[in-house]
């Protein structure tokens, strides 16, 4: 059988989704995927997901990116997003490559349409800066563990209030090192479930 140039051309054109897993195209498309979800565009998110999946990207890499996105970009505005992303990653492992795109697509749509917040991500970064700036600040005495009589006699744990014993479940003492009392690391946003959490804090 002679393979004509037209047949060869059609075969190669079908698989020429320009995608080098180590090259610029890889980073450009994953960037487009993340930014589409962040921009609340489910159509674009699924398109870029399909571009990568069909070009042979490692689906586990895609699942990991969605897990990170769920925490970093949706966060406390919809805490279920993390469960959805983790469940999609687990579902892929159970169903395999042939149909693994189904749970991944569901997760991408959920993440794209979820309310967005990066407050917990930013809280950690701000807290890390405080750690780098302040170094090894001492644990307040009332928060220290006092497993021995000697430690008790030194004042470890003295003044600690047990939250469950308080009328409203709140305590009057601080929990940060003395020089950081009053610092706010987590700044709740106005969207989704986080709005309610902000009213509680």
The model's pLDDT over 41-73, given as tens digits with 9 standing for 90+, comes to 999 999 999 999 999 999 999 999 999 999 999
Going along the chain from its start, the domains and CATH numbers come out as: 5-113 (1.20.272.10), 119-200 (1.10.3710.10)
Half-sphere exposure of 128 (CA within 13 A, CB side): 6
Residue with tokens 């960037």: 31
Q: Where are the alpha helices (DSSP H) in 24-140?
A: 24-38, 42-54, 59-69, 80-95, 97-113, 119-134
Strand, helix or coil for residue 5: helix
Please tell me the pTM assigned to this model: 0.84
At 169 the pLDDT is: 85
Q: Are 20 and 95 in contact (CB under 8 A)?
A: no
* Phi, psi torsion values for 108, nearest 5 degrees: -60, -40
Whether residue 17 has pLDDT greater than 70: no
Q: Are 63 and 41 in contact (CB under 8 A)?
A: no
Residue with tokens 């950081």: 180
What's the mean pLDDT when you consider all of the chain?
A: 91
Give the separation between CA 176 and CA 181, rounded to whole angstroms: 6
The model's pLDDT over 128-139, given as tens digits with 9 standing for 90+, comes to 999 999 999 999
What single-letter DSSP state applies at residue 86? H
């Amino acid at each position: 059988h002679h393979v004509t140039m037209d047949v060869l051309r059609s075969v190669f054109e079908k698989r020429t989704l320009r995608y080098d897993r180590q090259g610029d195209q890889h980073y450009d498309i994953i960037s487009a995927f993340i930014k589409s979800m962040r921009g609340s565009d489910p159509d674009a998110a699924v398109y870029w997901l399909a571009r990568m999946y069909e070009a042979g990207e490692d689906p586990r890499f895609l699942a990991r990116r969605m897990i990170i996105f769920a925490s970093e970009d949706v966060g406390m505005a919809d805490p279920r997003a993390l469960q959805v992303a983790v469940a999609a990653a687990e579902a892929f492992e159970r169903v395999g490559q042939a149909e693994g795109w189904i749970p991944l697509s569901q997760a991408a749509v959920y993440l794209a349409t979820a309310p967005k917040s990066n407050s917990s991500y930013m809280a950690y970064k701000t807290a890390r800066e405080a750690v780098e700036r302040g170094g090894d600040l001492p644990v307040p005495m009332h928060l220290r563990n006092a497993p021995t009589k000697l430690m008790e006699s030194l004042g470890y744990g003295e003044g600690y209030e047990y939250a469950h014993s308080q009328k409203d479940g709140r305590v009057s003492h601080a929990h940060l090192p003395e020089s950081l009392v009053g610092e706010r690391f987590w700044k709740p946003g106005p969207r989704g479930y986080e709005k309610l959490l902000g009213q509680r804090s």
